[in-house]
Amino acid sequence: MHRLLRSTLTLVFACTSAFAIAQSKPATDVDYKLGPGDAIRVQVYQNPDLTVETRVSESGSINYPLIGGVKLGGLSIGQAESQIAQGLRSRNILKAPQVNIVLLQVRGNQVSVLGQVNKPGRFPLETFNVRVSDMLAAAGGITPTGDDVLVVTGVRDGKAFRKTIDIPALFAGTRNGDDIVVSAGDTIFVNKAPMYYIYGEAQKPGPYRIERGMTVMQALAQGGGTTNRGTQDRLRLTRTRADGSVEQIVPRLTDPVQPNDVLFVRESLF
């Protein structure tokens, strides 16, 4: 069931990665701070000649008619509107200008998606209510060796921010509150899933991903079961403890599999 869910998620990612961010809701967050590369439209009520579509420069400024350079970087939408209105008043252009700014596109802000994703890299925030699920889709989804959890790190209210998110629960709709809105400068990291190894008289020896709640029997089945010469009655499991010591175990089929376990299928005596 869990593998079916992962396959479904991968398909969803593949189908949506090209346009996931573009389909995000329109920007409405008044606390958003303008930055270099943001595309905006400035309008002044009853003064269509003062309508301008422009981008915030690398220095955080725009060039506005009759005013010249206006510093908007680091200001919220409301503060930027007041800044331009103040410029129009101070130059006696308008007595009571009503300025409206529409954020057309967020280009200067990016989020990094790294680790076990199909297309790791930095992705621009097209709007500022892009969620974790949107960024995963933009990165092409999680690789088969990706973990079931991801970590979001960044800065919120001037303080370091870190959140661990359960990926299957996120897309199953059981923990929608974890589908948080990402911020500029965030990093989303998907670690490699814990692995185990199966050798000896197994049909498909090699490394495998540990699924949640996996038992020795399930691990053996994932390796294709035993060969005609092997037997599940003579399994040996090598496990490395936290202190680095190694122990040899004769496992039961119902025992849980732990990260880096080595399962050896021995040859039958008969």
CATH number of the domain that residue 52 is part of? 3.30.1950.10
pLDDT at 43 (0 to 100): 96
Retrieve residue 10's tokens. 């991968």
Task: Give every CB contact of residue 177 below 8 A, 6+ residues apart in sequence.
Answer: none
pLDDT at 18 (0 to 100): 41
Q: Are 9 and 119 members of one domain?
A: yes
pLDDT at 170 (0 to 100): 85
Q: What percent of the chain has pLDDT over 90?
A: 61
Between vectors from CA 31 to CA 27 and to CA 36, what angle results, nearest 5°?
Answer: 75
Q: Count of alpha carbons within 13 Å of 29, Cβ hemisphere only?
A: 14
User: Pairing relation of β-strands 206-209 and 61-64?
Assistant: unpaired
Q: Which of 142, 158, 192 is the last residue of a domain?
A: 192
Which string of b and e fits 27-64 if b means at least 16 CB within 10 Å?
A: beeeebbbbebbebebbbeeeeebebeeebbeebebeb
pLDDT at 152 (0 to 100): 96
Q: Are 165 and 258 members of one domain?
A: no
Q: Are 123 and 12 members of one domain?
A: yes
The length of the chain is 270
Q: Is this model's pTM higher than 0.95 or not?
A: no
How high does pLDDT run on average in the chain?
Answer: 85
Least confident window among 65-79, 105-119, 186-200:
105-119
Q: What share of the chain is helix, strand, coil (3-state, %, to 5)?
A: 20, 35, 40
pLDDT tens digits for 19-58? 444 444 334 444 678 888 889 999 999 999 999 999 998 7
pLDDT tens digits for 148-157? 999 999 888 8
Q: Are 175 and 47 members of one domain?
A: no
Task: Give every CB contact of residue 196 below 8 A, 6+ residues apart in sequence.
Answer: 207, 208, 210, 214, 219, 257, 258, 259, 260, 261, 262, 263
Q: What is the tally of structural domains in the chain?
A: 3
pLDDT at 175 (0 to 100): 65
Range of the domain at 59: 39-104
CB 135 within 8 A of CB 111: yes
Helix (H, G, I), strand (E, B) or coil at 42: strand
pLDDT band for position 238 (cuts 50, 70, 90): very high
CB 60 within 8 A of CB 72: yes
Q: What percent of the chain has pLDDT over 70?
A: 86
Q: Are 183 and 147 members of one domain?
A: yes
pLDDT band for position 260 (cuts 50, 70, 90): very high
Q: Is residue 89 part of a domain?
A: yes
pLDDT tens digits for 201-219? 999 999 999 998 999 999 9
Strand partners, 115: 190
Rounded to an integer, the average pLDDT of 246-269 is 93
The H helix count followed by the E strand count for the chain is 5, 15
Q: Which of 192, 213, 236 is the last residue of a domain?
A: 192
Q: Which of 192, 221, 256 is the last residue of a domain?
A: 192
Q: Are 114 and 186 members of one domain?
A: yes
Q: Are 159 and 263 members of one domain?
A: no
